[in-house]
Amino acid sequence: EAQVTQNPRYLITVTGKKLTVTCSQNMNHEYMSWYRQDPGLGLRQIYYSMNVEVTDKGDVPEGYKVSRKEKRNFPLILESPSPNQTSLYFCASKGTGDQPQHFGDGTRLSIL
């Protein structure tokens, strides 16, 4: 089954404790992306990757890092999480050209 898998689905942690949210897709998609979703603000793009070893900042990249060492994986790293990063996070992937995005089921992060 074609899917985007995020882990963990839920995480409560404390300020400053490094965390990684994993994202994996099995559709051989070149493009992958991370979004955060906050009430009233819709989906805001954090980082995206057009292919392996190619990453670019989205609209709200501050406080986040990503890597794309393999085509299928695109982890989101919070080196020193802060409470304003409490949010619902989505990973997505798509094929080249005018193609729809496929989203994971989301990761709810709470930073205390």
Where along the sequence are the contacts to another protein (CB under 8 A)?
4, 31, 35, 40-45, 48, 90, 92, 96-101, 103-106
User: Cβ(60)–Cβ(47) under 8 Å?
Assistant: no
Among residues 15 and 99, whose Cβ is nearest to another protein? 99
Strand 107-111, strand 102-103: pairing: unpaired
- Identity of the amino acid at 35: Y
Among residues 82 and 99, whose Cβ is nearest to another protein? 99
Q: What is residue 84's three-state secondary structure?
A: helix
Among residues 33 and 85, whose Cβ is nearest to another protein? 33
Closest contact distance (angstroms) between CB of 15 and another protein is 26
Closest contact distance (angstroms) between CB of 105 and another protein is 5
Q: What is residue 8's three-state secondary structure?
A: coil
Among residues 64 and 90, whose Cβ is nearest to another protein? 90
How far is residue 67's CA from residue 96's CA, in Å, rounded to a whole number? 19
Closest contact distance (angstroms) between CB of 103 and another protein is 3
How far is residue 75's CA from residue 99's CA, in Å, rounded to a whole number? 22
Closest contact distance (angstroms) between CB of 43 and another protein is 4
